[in-house]
């Protein structure tokens, strides 16, 4: 989930300076307004150690008014704390209404460490996360504004920071034995954190994952997010925020990186017709035999396809269906919902097509519509699409826990490629039906869709149901990639089932 | 928790007939209005088998309009269902907007059986309950109205029903081997159900526990509750409910039992001065020694006292404090919160006084103020006090899981006794400060407080933190009862800790 933000986004010094002064002013205004509105504010900073949590604390400490700002860190429990129920140490530190609590580490940290180093069971970990959910909901229902940051840095970056600190006379003591042990188990720690984020991301206490290796970029991202949350809260409260509102109309000065996980996809891959045909046939033969084995072993498969209009979803799906007997697989095309579907929860229409043992269902577009088209077009409210991430993760976990093989494909093309395909469709009579005015309208909203897709991929790439990002400027390449991925995944599942 | 509703409430036939026709009309009106409002409605019926779920289903089936009313029962999983993720079978049955789902058993039933007969672990059970919470929240957020009934009947009643059915040629097949096995483990089943209710009672999907042995009483209670919920929802939606609203202004005809758990308390107990003094001294000596043992073993104690004004809370607490060294115990009197307390979540002021290892905290009034005075006086909103039951149960569970000994006392007197104590206070100069105009005002709200206390006791009597109801018309009797209860409980805890 987190590696999706490793995009190398940076901000140059000149832009940083401009934006820093802009956000600093606005944050201060919003802070005063929130103090008046009487909300207790919780800002949690989590991430691997010795990389940047301290920097962010210092930054906010400088930028915000320190009256009513309380910075709290949690070390090992004191005697006093050990003698009371687990949450007592946190209750002591909760900010009062109109105060700001800045948490350097939090109620998550200890559990992440236990899961990483002490082999705490998944069930125990989960049950603690659900307790935290209840705690945070309770605080939010009482009016608290809660923001939880995961400041993401890579293992290599953490290592380089350790080195830097070791060279520094004053920094040396900062790298503890615990930090080193956790660094060794970096990927386990990240896995635990991803699980925590997934289980405790609630609209009333959201997680924000921030790419954090570039100081400038990270600082502005954090400031921007906090400001946004403050302003939303103030707008809800209909408090007098004229001073900040009028100012927020103008955009912050300077450039800000807009890379997404999508524009990291290398679209240059090509495939000769000859190689295409050889690999396609091979993969289809394999898939045919695998699908029958899956049928006999009772292994069900769910595949879903998302991607830009004209990215080639239909073509890829057809190549799969050529390989699988129609009696054991079917394609569900998701267009506008039926009346009956509209009368149910949005997930109902997908639940009804979950395959029986040994069968496959292929969704041509899927439940991700909730966080793509419904988000961008405003069919779903902000609360609705925000909570959909965790609803979707829950749904997919239930599929996977039941033993379904789940494959999620994002077929990616760039804007030029889309344009040329649209024009080809317009020019080719038998393809003309495929192109509508709506496609042209959606095309204009490319940046909004891109942002939505980026967040979707980040929030719903789980260990049990990762996204497969498919470069699809070349149709041949895309089709073969998809087919081979299906074969590989299915083969692994059958082996696991047998083994 | 459930046994608190075993009050033997009955309704006679004449009153039943009147009320039945009243509620039948109104339910039908409300149903039509809800269909127009487009909410999907879920009515879940749970309880031990072969007692009355079927009767309630039949009743509602008769009373409500059957268009859009779907009755669903869940037997063993079909092949189709077993081949899909666990919740698939439930998703198939979910009602559409404007439809009513009447569930004879539900997503709870299977888990209750597993926990009772298959030794399912607490952790697994809990994690399933939390999944259900997420499911129900999700449906509620989507607009569903969810009501969950626990139709409570005693073991003896179930047995008598089995006998009746066995005599009946057509009823015989209804008592299955599973029913019999569950009947054998009645108390385990009830414990599991109590735990389920505690973990899944949410304002958006509340549980209603209904005393169900008298058909007439139970039917009216169910109808009344459903009607209330429908009308609340319609009022929220500001739909046109003039037809139902004007009608609901008049009270239903006939009498309806108003017994509570409080008026089941036998207040006749007395104690001679002599016996009082002997037992008091004995208990105080015991408590003194136990409190020091607790100190040395690090066992903490939390006691709380609730009850009517002038019920003798202060006197009982003083007798305890005479026995315990002041260095290891303290009394926290809960009056109006301080500014600082007001600026935090309502539980914060209680968390701060949770005792260290080996110490005791005695709360003279407590967090239960949320569901008593704050509820009755309207200081807390309906949502706030309703969700407080589960917040409080959570809080107390954390105390108990940490090893705290928790004792909760309700000191009960009747209205006459209160009056004579008020008058004595007024007449005795050194007691006059104890009585205020507010006490007289509260006295007028006796029925509302009684209802609140009844619900409080029912919803927060948990296996780990049960209420002790103390008859307190006799002060001597009450004080000795309290002291001996503290001693017994503490002694047991110390033995368990050692053993």
How open is the CA angle A142-A145-A150, to the nearest 5 degrees?
135
The region, left, alpha or beta by phi > 0 then psi within -120 to 50, assigned to residue A45 is: beta
How open is the CA angle A466-A204-A29, to the nearest 5 degrees?
115
How many CB atoms lie under 10 A from the CB of residue A242?
9
Contact (Cβ atoms closer than 8 angstroms) between residue B220 and residue B20: yes
Tokens of B454: 């009844």
Q: What confidence category does residue A172 fall into, taking pLDDT thresholds of 50, 70 and 90? A: confident
Does B397 score more than 70 pLDDT?
Answer: yes
For residue A488, what pLDDT is reported? 97
Residues 6+ apart with CB under 8 A from B318: none
A146 φ, ψ (degrees, to nearest 5): -120, 125
Domain A262-498 has CATH 3.40.50.300: yes
Contact (Cβ atoms closer than 8 angstroms) between residue B2 and residue B190: yes
The DSSP letter of residue A324 is S
State the residue for tokens 């009028």.
Answer: A246
Helices (H), B345-414: 348-351, 373-376, 382-401
Between residues A494 and A5, the one the model is more confident about: A494
- Per-position DSSP letters for A123-142, written without gaps between them: HHHHHHHHHHHHHHHHHHHT
Residues 6+ apart with CB under 8 A from A32: A65
Which has the minimum average pLDDT: A68-77, A283-292, A302-311?
A68-77
Taking alpha carbons only, the member of B49, B48, B69 closest to residue B59 is B69
Does A244 score more than 70 pLDDT?
Answer: no
Residues 285-314 (B) with a CB less than 8 A from some CB of A? 298, 300
For residue A241, what pLDDT is reported? 46
For residue B141, what pLDDT is reported? 87
Rounded to an integer, the average pLDDT of B244-248 is 47
Partner residue facing A127 (CB), from B94, B123, B391 = B123
A452: Cα within 13 Å, side-chain hemisphere: 24
Residues 3-62 (A) with a CB less than 8 A from some CB of B? 40
> What integer best gives the mean pLDDT of chain B?
89
For residue B247, what pLDDT is reported? 46
pLDDT > 70: percent of chain B: 97
Partner residue facing A86 (CB), from B86, B96, B398 = B398
Q: Tell me the per-residue pLDDT of A187-232, one tens digit each, with 9 for 90 and over.
A: 999 999 999 998 898 888 999 999 999 999 999 999 999 999 999 8
Q: Tell me the per-residue pLDDT of B411-451, one tens digit each, with 9 for 90 and over.
A: 999 999 999 999 998 888 888 777 888 888 888 999 999 99
For residue A238, what pLDDT is reported? 64
Does A81 score more than 60 pLDDT?
Answer: yes
Say how many CB pairs under 8 Å bridge A and B. Answer: 112
Does B485 score more than 80 pLDDT?
Answer: yes
Determine the Cα–Cα distance for residues A151 and A161; give it in Å rounded to an integer. Answer: 14
Determine the Cα–Cα distance for residues B446 and B262; give it in Å rounded to an integer. Answer: 12
Determine the Cα–Cα distance for residues B225 and A79; give it in Å rounded to an integer. Answer: 49
How many CB atoms lie under 10 A from the CB of residue A141?
15
Q: Specify the DSSP element, H or E, that contains B207.
A: strand B207-211
Q: What confidence category does residue A242 fall into, taking pLDDT thresholds of 50, 70 and 90? A: very low
Does B245 score more than 60 pLDDT?
Answer: no
For residue A379, what pLDDT is reported? 92
Taking alpha carbons only, the member of B357, B335, B337, B362 closest to residue B349 is B337
The answer to whether B399 contacts chain A (CB < 8 Å) is yes
Whether residues B344 and A96 touch (CB distance < 8 A) is answered with: yes
In angstroms and rounded to an integer, the radius of gyration of the C-alpha atoms of chain B is 25
Domain topology for A2-249: Rossmann fold (3.40.50)
For residue A250, what pLDDT is reported? 61
For residue B246, what pLDDT is reported? 46
- Per-position DSSP letters for A369-382, written without gaps between them: GGGTHHHHTTSS-H
For residue A390, what pLDDT is reported? 86
State the residue for tokens 């007289």.
Answer: B440
Which has the minimum average pLDDT: A239-243, A407-411, B218-222, B253-257?
A239-243
Residues, chain A, total? 499
Distance in Å, alpha carbon of B88 to nearest chain A alpha carbon: 7
> What integer best gives the mean pLDDT of chain A?
89
Question: Which CATH architecture is the domain B263-498 placed in?
Answer: 3-Layer(aba) Sandwich (3.40)
ipTM: 0.72
Which has the minimum average pLDDT: A390-394, B115-119, B187-191, B339-343?
B339-343
Q: Which residues are B360's β-sheet partners? A: B301, B329
Does B169 score more than 90 pLDDT?
Answer: no
Contact (Cβ atoms closer than 8 angstroms) between residue A343 and residue B98: yes
Determine the Cα–Cα distance for residues A373 and A385; give it in Å rounded to an integer. Answer: 10
Residues 121-180 (A) with a CB less than 8 A from some CB of B? 123-124, 126-127, 130-131, 134, 138-139, 141-142, 144
In angstroms and rounded to an integer, the radius of gyration of the C-alpha atoms of chain A is 25
Q: Which residues of A touch B200 (CB under 8 A)?
A: none
Q: Mean pLDDT: which of A485-494, B47-56, B383-392 is highest?
A: A485-494
The DSSP letter of residue A78 is P
Whether residues A401 and B298 touch (CB distance < 8 A) is answered with: no
Determine the Cα–Cα distance for residues B239 and A274; give it in Å rounded to an integer. Answer: 66
The answer to whether B344 contacts chain A (CB < 8 Å) is yes
Does B124 score more than 50 pLDDT?
Answer: yes
Does B240 score more than 70 pLDDT?
Answer: no
Q: What confidence category does residue B199 fall into, taking pLDDT thresholds of 50, 70 and 90? A: confident
Q: Which residues are B44's β-sheet partners? A: B103, B148
According to CATH, where is 3.40.50.300 located in chain A? 2-249, 262-498
pLDDT > 70: percent of chain A: 97
For residue A92, what pLDDT is reported? 87
Rounded to an integer, the average pLDDT of B90-97 is 89
For residue A239, what pLDDT is reported? 47
The answer to whether A78 contacts chain B (CB < 8 Å) is no
Residues 6+ apart with CB under 8 A from A194: A1, A2, A462, A463
Between residues A425 and B372, the one the model is more confident about: B372
According to CATH, where is 3.40.50.300 located in chain B? 2-249, 263-498
Contact (Cβ atoms closer than 8 angstroms) between residue B359 and residue B303: no
For residue B250, what pLDDT is reported? 62
Whether residues A96 and B357 touch (CB distance < 8 A) is answered with: no
The answer to whether B94 contacts chain A (CB < 8 Å) is yes
Between residues B77 and A413, the one the model is more confident about: A413
Q: Specify the DSSP element, H or E, that contains A208.
A: strand A207-211
State how far Cα B265 lies from the chain centre: 17
Residues 6+ apart with CB under 8 A from B183: B48, B49, B155, B158, B159, B162
Q: What does each C-alpha distance from A170 to A48, A174, A175 come to in angstroms?
A: 20, 8, 11
Whether residues A141 and B40 touch (CB distance < 8 A) is answered with: no
For residue A474, what pLDDT is reported? 96
Does B367 score more than 50 pLDDT?
Answer: yes
Whether residues A127 and B126 touch (CB distance < 8 A) is answered with: yes
Q: What confidence category does residue B166 fall into, taking pLDDT thresholds of 50, 70 and 90? A: confident
Q: Tell me the per-residue pLDDT of A380-392, one tens digit each, with 9 for 90 and over.
A: 988 889 889 988 9
Determine the Cα–Cα distance for residues A89 and B291; give it in Å rounded to an integer. Answer: 25
Question: How large is the angle between the packed helices A186-200 and A155-167, nearest 10 degrees?
Answer: 120
């Amino acid at each position: 989930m987190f590696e999706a933000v490793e995009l190398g986004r940076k901000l140059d010094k000149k832009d940083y300076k401009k934006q820093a002064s802009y956000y600093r002013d606005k944050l201060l205004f919003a802070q005063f307004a929130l103090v008046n509105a009487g909300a207790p504010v919780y800002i949690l900073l989590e991430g691997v150690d010795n990389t940047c949590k301290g920097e962010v604390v210092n930054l906010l400490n400088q930028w915000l008014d320190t009256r009513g700002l309380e910075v709290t860190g949690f070390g090992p429990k004191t005697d006093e704390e050990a003698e009371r129920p687990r949450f007592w140490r946190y209750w002591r530190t909760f900010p009062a209404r109109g105060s700001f609590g800045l948490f350097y580490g939090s109620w998550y940290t200890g559990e992440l460490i236990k899961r990483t180093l002490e082999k705490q069971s998944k069930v125990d970990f989960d049950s603690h996360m659900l307790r935290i959910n209840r705690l945070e909901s309770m605080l939010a229902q009482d009016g608290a504004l809660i923001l939880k940051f995961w400041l993401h840095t890579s293992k290599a970056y953490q290592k380089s920071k350790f080195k830097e600190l070791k060279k520094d006379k004053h920094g040396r003591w900062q790298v503890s034995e615990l930090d080193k042990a956790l660094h060794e188990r970096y990927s386990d720690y990240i896995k635990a954190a991803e699980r925590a984020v997934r289980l405790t991301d609630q609209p009333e206490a959201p997680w924000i994952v921030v790419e954090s290796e570039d100081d400038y970029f990270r600082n502005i991202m954090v400031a921007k997010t906090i400001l946004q949350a403050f302003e939303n809260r103030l707008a809800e409260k209909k408090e007098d925020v004229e001073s900040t509102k009028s100012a927020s109309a103008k955009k912050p000065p300077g450039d800000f990186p807009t890379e997404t996980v999508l524009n990291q996809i290398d679209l240059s891959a090509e495939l000769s017709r000859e190689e295409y045909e050889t690999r396609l046939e091979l993969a289809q033969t394999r898939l045919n035999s695998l699908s029958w084995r899956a049928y006999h072993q009772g292994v069900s498969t769910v595949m879903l396809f998302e991607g830009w209009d004209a990215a080639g979803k239909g073509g890829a799906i057809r190549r799969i269906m050529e390989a699988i007997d129609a009696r054991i697989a079917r394609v569900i095309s998701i267009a506008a919902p039926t009346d009956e579907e509209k009368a149910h929860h949005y997930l109902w229409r997908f639940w009804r097509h979950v395959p029986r043992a040994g069968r496959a269902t292929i969704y041509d577009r899927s439940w991700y519509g909730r966080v793509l088209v419904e988000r961008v077009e405003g069919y779903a409210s902000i609360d609705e699409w925000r909570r959909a991430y965790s609803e979707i993760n829950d749904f997919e976990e239930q599929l996977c826990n039941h033993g379904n093989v789940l494959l999620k494909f994002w077929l990616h093309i760039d804007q030029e490629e889309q344009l040329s395909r649209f024009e080809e469709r317009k020019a080719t009579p038998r393809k003309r039906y495929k192109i509508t005015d709506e496609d042209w309208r959606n095309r204009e909203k490319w940046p909004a869709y891109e942002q939505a897709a980026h967040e979707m991929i980040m929030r719903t790439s789980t260990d049990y149901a990762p996204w497969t990002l498919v470069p699809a400027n070349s149709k041949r390449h895309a089709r073969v990639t998809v087919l081979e991925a299906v074969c590989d995944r299915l083969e692994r599942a059958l082996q696991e089932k047998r083994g």
